[in-house]
Structure 1
Amino acid sequence: MAPDPLRSKIVRTFKLHGLSLRSEGSTYLQSLLREADTSEADEALSRIIDVLSNLNLPSPVVDKTTLESAVSECNDDVQPENSDKMFNVVDIFNTPRYKYNYERKKLLPDTAPKSLFGCAADKARITKDRYWLIMQRTQRHDLFTPPVPGAISQSSKFVLQTVEQVLGQQGEHKHTIVLAMLVQIEEGKYFLEDSSSHMLCDLSAAKFHVGMFTEYTFVLAEGSYDDVNSVFRVTGVGLPPPEPPKITRNYFGNTNFFGGPSPTCVSSVQVLRDIEREKQDTMFVFVSDVWLDQQTVLNKLKTMFTGYSKHPPFAFVFFGNFVSGQSHKNTVNKMKAGFKALADILSSYPTLCSDSYFLFVPGPQDPGPGPVLPRPPLPASIVEPVTKRLARARMCSNPARVQYCSQEMVLFRENLINKMCRHCIKFPQRSEELHVHLAKTLLSQGHLAPLPLHAMPVYWSHDHALRLYPIPDLLVIADKYDAFSVSATDCLLFNPGSFPKSNFSFKVYLPAQKKIENCEIAT
């Protein structure tokens, strides 16, 4: 029997691009392209290959499931009114987990089970995975890439060494740079630790650069090893350089590391970028510390809703705490009453109820399973008055991940500046504002909680849900600290500030312009 020409073309096209197609996959493509003419089939195959090339495939062998995802991406006919594609709130407990494979130089899906109550192996994996993500990123930075043979000047290049390599150079007193984690293995003594070994370090003469340096922070330590006293004498401490998301994508393709329904990164979908540019008037309103038990706060929210009623924002994002004060005996009852009062107010604004999304992110003092991150959404029994009346209400986890068109947003309600300062080995130099130090630290560490687990507990098998890698387009840190905004490494980072404590100020984000606006409700 003569071979099917279409099947031969499919197999040949995949082979030309270094891919191998399983038999059920080729049969699936045959059924799809059977009625297409030659030019249409060639164009369809080309688009499918492009999508597969942008995926971080664990193997060159393509199965039917992967192929169906690629075909679905090619057939994506997103329309402006299709909010399912434009806007998604990601389930933080189902975000994809990837692990860096040093031998293959790739980020591969981590198939280890994710239990809420992790085992010892999950705890050990936290620091190891963080280390390799930062190490592979730092190694390809311009400052640390290997010298190019024949280049005129290599004076700006540095060589990264592991702790084990430094310990093996005893007697040479070589000046070197080590990427390692700061940790107290013995009380009152700091060590530099990486995947190879650990060594005692002397920070007394060290110059600390911009950033907040706490235990469990991965640092670039510059200095030399004193083999007589068995100590690494540090002269300078800095943070590993962050990596713009475009560079990350160049190395790992458009795999969706963020989560959500799309198999590829949403920034690679042209139709979403087009919609984003067209909707110049789209707004996200961010309000933190929405104390629903305070009548003054409810009155100011009503004033806000009145102002936006004629031009509804795309979304209101409300951060907790949703009850004032540190603790209350009747917190749950007060929250129920507060959400009912909020629902009553919103019922007077039908345009907002029908056109705007309402996102609620719990705060540190709100009812829940405790201070361990990530926190699940607010209990359904408390927010029922709002969810019953607002079809577009979304109860988010903390942190929350939100996708709007081609942009990825991370929303986090935590008093981070206070916690980071409290655990700093050396208080940041005030030549820079504290929020600049915070932004530099978070983006450098690629993580929302670069603190010891006793200071900021994390579910061991869900630590990946707090990663900032690749760096998102927008990072909102809702902190009780003064409002701020800063742009770094292709990321906008801002704090809306405490609504009741800052003269009822809040922030508005314009995605089409990637711009932050400061707003305040006049007293």
Structure 2
Amino acid sequence: MAGELKSKVLSSFKLHGLSLRSDASRRLCEALAPVSRAEVNMWLDKIVDVIQKQPLTSSLLDLEVIELAIEECGTASEQENDQTLQVIDAFSIPRLVYNNDRKKFLLNSASKPCLHASADAKTDLFKERYMILYQRTMRHRLFIPPVPGSAPHQDTRKFQLKTVEYLLGTTAKLGRVIVLGMLTQMKEGKYFIEDPTGTVELDIAEAVFHSGIFTENCFVLAEGTYDDKIFHVSALGFPPAEPSNQTREYFGSVNFFGGSSERCAKHSTLLAQAEKDNQDAMFVFLSEVWLDHPKVMDKLQTLFTGYSDMPPTVFVLCGHFCSMPYGPNHVRLLKQGFRDLADLICKFPNIAESSHFVFVPGPLDIGPGNILPRPPIPDVLTEDIRSRVPLVTFASNPCRFQYCTQEIIVFREDITNKMCRNCLRFPGQEESIPSHLVKTITTQAHLCPLPLHVRPIYWSYDNALRVYPLPDLIVLADAYDPFQEEASDCRVINPGAFPKSKFQFKVYWPQKKLVENSQLPD
């Protein structure tokens, strides 16, 4: 066992271009000896990460460097956050950028994000989206180049990505070329594909569109022939999605999701045990909860009555919180609505003391302009309910939940209709509209792949809308009919507009990863 561990330690460091002195490798083997085989690789990745952040003068590491790394990792482990529930604000999510040279994601600390960023931030936004999809596509089995000398498999087709620069640099006709790039309309009625190396005009008259909703500014894999400065597309599809467990196998314990922990919660044994023990935990999702509407308030009372004996872990209520989100009385109605909701919650002591209430604003709720991500509803309107109900959080839109090892994203936006209105070609009828939408979001690794002039986004905070790696659950609180879909081990649900869908809502059981469709009797 000792020889096997030493060999694993030395090979792990060698893969990163590092080597160990004999006393350093001996010390590291002693530190890892009590660790189970399943966790050795995780701890090695963590130690190498810590070492690479240090200002090294040589690739040959001595005992002092290893001691410091072990100490830092041990301290981080002791301070591992064991909060079972965290609500993560969109403006606090770490901005990780893929470094193609080091083949890993690094925290972008060069520039501090701001709401009114320079024009460079807009360029970086699309570059970062491209690099996420590029590195993911290049690791897919269809695009990994065959190993020299290996026997070819007849049933496995291999593809090779080309850049736009490659097309523009040739004078001959090229057949069966595949390009990964962003769809743009640089001239009215003419579409182009763009990547970091350039742009080329497309001819999509004969193109076969695969499943998904194709809009401007989405990234596609275009296959076709290049001739006379025009790329004649025969097939148009999205880059392949990737389950989160594959992503984490490649990038280790990097915390993409956000929160107070430096490591991904998926690697926490404490949180995994807490999730296993708490079998009764559940999330209740409602959308368009009109607090100024008497019938909605009556239905909320019915809902709380039903759950009074077994309070859910979290109630997630999404806006709009007024049935008429305009007019001179909007502020007064909204403030009174939250006061009435506080009165209602206080009638059920079990729920008031045990359940966490999270409010996600809608596009027409009060806030500083309709730009994503949206900050929480202002405190001046919510002070009454916050003072009377102990567990209340007013979140941003979108927002994230870290429940034990589970990752949940909630996004309140009427995204379905906007995607369909702005698509190049309406999706075929072989799949439902929600299926096309879910495929688009999971393959684009983004909640809102619409053009920025259709749905504005703060350029520096575009990372708040990423869905990479894919979470366990995405809640698209949409005005569209309720639905439930799954793609690449990620569940995507829409609870539907509460008053418009005959008072339907969704219940999620994290321990079983089960979604229940629920409805209140009329």
Give 1:490 shift. Answer: 1.2
Residue 70 of structure 1 aligns to which amino acid in structure 2? C
Q: In structure 1, what is the equivalent of residue 86 of structure 2?
A: 88
Paired letter, 1:87? L
Q: Distance in 2 between matches of 1:50 and 1:276?
A: 21
3-state SS of paired residue (1:171):
coil
Within the alignment, does 1:264 sit opposite 2:263 as a pair? Answer: yes
- Structure 1's 449 and 188: CA in aligned 2 closer, same or farther, altered over 3 A? same
Secondary structure in 1 matching 2:493: strand
Higher mean displacement: 172-181 or 187-196:
172-181
Shift of 1:325: 3.2
2:74 counterpart residue number? 71
Match of 2:483 in 1: 484
Q: Which runs of 4+ in 1 moved over 4 A?
A: 13-17, 38-42, 44-50, 61-69
Q: Is the 8 A contact 2:46 2:73 kept in 1?
A: no
Alpha-carbon shift at residue 98 of structure 1 (Å): 0.9
Equivalent residue, structure 1, for 2:248: 249
Query: In 2 relative to 1, CA 477–318 (structure 1 residues): closer, same or farther, beyond 3 Å?
Result: same
Q: How does 1:87-126 map to 2 (within 5 A)?
A: 87-111=85-109, 112-126=111-125
The whole-number CA distance in structure 1 between the counterparts of 2:283 and 2:395 is: 15
Output the TM-score relative to the length of structure 2: 0.89
The answer to whether the Cα contact below 8 Å between 1:56 and 1:108 also exists between their aligned partners in 2 is no
Query: Cα offset for 1:105?
Result: 1.2
Aligned to 1:199: 200
Indicate conservation of the 8 Å contact 2:47/2:69, yes or no: no
- CA separation of 1:96 and 1:164: change in aligned 2, threshold 3 A: same
Q: Which amino acid aligns with 1:206?
A: A
Q: Aligned to 1:282, what secondary structure does the other structure show? A: coil
Partners of 2:123 and 2:312 lie apart in 1 by 44
The gaps in structure 2 that reach 5 residues or longer are: 1-7, 55-64
**CA shift in 2, pair 1:43/1:319, >3 Å:** same
| Correspondence for 1:336 | 335
Kept in 1: contact 2:9–2:44 (CA 8 A): no
Q: Is the 8 A contact 1:220 1:239 kept in 2?
A: yes
Query: Does the C-alpha gap of structure 1 residues 478 and 174 become closer, same or farther in structure 2, counting only changes over 3 Å?
Result: same
Contact 1:287-1:317 at 8 Å conserved across structures: yes
Query: Could you tell me whether the CA contact under 8 Å between 1:55 and 1:264 is conserved in 2?
Result: no
Is the 8 Å Cα contact of residues 52 and 70 (structure 1) preserved in structure 2?
no
Q: Write the distance in 2 (CA, Å) between the matches of 1:77 and 1:130.
A: 30
Identify if the C-alpha distance between structure 1 residues 190 and 65 changes in structure 2 by more than 3 Å, giving closer, same or farther.
Answer: farther
Alpha-carbon distance between aligned partners in 2 of 1:391 and 1:242, rounded to the nearest angstrom: 40
Q: Which stretch of structure 1 is more off in the superposition, 337-346 or 246-255?
A: 246-255
Tell me if structure 2 keeps the 8 A contact 1:56–1:254. no
CA shift digits 1:91-146 (9 cap, x unpaired): 22121111111111111111121112111111110001100110010011011110
Residue of structure 2 equivalent to 1:495: 494
Deviation, 1:268, is 1.1
Partner of 1:345: 344
Change (3 A) 1:475 1:68: farther
In structure 1, what is the equivalent of residue 158 of structure 2?
A: 157
Counterpart of 1:218 in structure 2: which amino acid?
Answer: F
Residues 174 and 225, structure 2, Cα contact 8 Å, conserved in 1: yes
Corresponding residue number in structure 1 for 2:143: 144
**1:513 and 2:516 are equivalent in the alignment:** no
RMSD of aligned alpha carbons = 2.8
Give the aligned partner of residue 316 of structure 2: 317
Say if 2:50 and 2:69, in contact at 8 Å, map to a contact too.
no
Task: Letter of the 2:169 partner, please give it.
Answer: G
When the two structures are aligned, how many residues end up with a matched partner? 494
Aligned to 1:7: none
Following superposition of structure 1 onto structure 2, how do residues 207-286 of structure 1 map, counting pairs within 5 Å?
Answer: 207-227=208-228, 230-286=229-285
Task: For 1:136 and 1:39, locate their aligned partners in 2 and report how far apart those are by CA, in whole Å.
Answer: 36
CA distance in 2, matches of 1:132, 1:276: 34
Report what 2:184 is aligned to.
Answer: 183
SS at match of 1:137: helix
Counterpart amino acid of 2:105? L
Contact 1:55-1:253 within 8 A present in 2 as well:
no
Three-state SS of the structure 2 residue aligned to 1:275 is: helix
Q: Secondary structure at the match of 2:49?
A: coil
Q: CA, structure 1 residues 52+396, in 2 after alignment: closer, same or farther (shift >3 Å)? A: farther
CA contact (8 A) 1:56 1:255 kept: no
**Using the alignment, how far apart are the partners of 2:69 and 2:189 within structure 1?**
52
In structure 1, distance between residues paired with 2:112 and 2:361: 27
Contact 1:48–1:74 (CA under 8 A) maintained in structure 2: no
Separation in 1, partners of 2:511, 2:454: 38
Cα offsets for 1:464-512 (capped at 9, x unmatched): 1111111111100000000000111111100000100011110000001
Structure 1 unaligned regions, length at least 5: 1-12, 31-37, 79-83
Partner of 1:9: none
CA distance in 2, matches of 1:246, 1:408: 13
Q: Secondary structure at the match of 1:507?
A: strand
| TM-score, normalisation: structure 1 | 0.89
User: 2 CA distance for matches of 1:418 and 1:89?
Assistant: 28
Q: Corresponding residue for 1:371? A: 370
Give the conservation status (yes or no) of the 8 Å contact 1:56–1:252.
no
Aligned letter for 2:188? Answer: E
Amino acid of the structure 1 residue aligned with 2:428: Q
Instruction: Tell me if the contact between 2:84 and 2:404 (Cα under 8 Å) persists in the aligned partners.
Output: yes
Counterpart in the other structure of 2:57: none
C-alpha distance in 2, partners of 1:340/1:58? 49
Per-residue Cα deviation, 1:335-384 (whole angstroms, up to 9, x for no partner): 00100000001111111011110000000110000111111111001111
| AA aligned opposite 1:166 | L
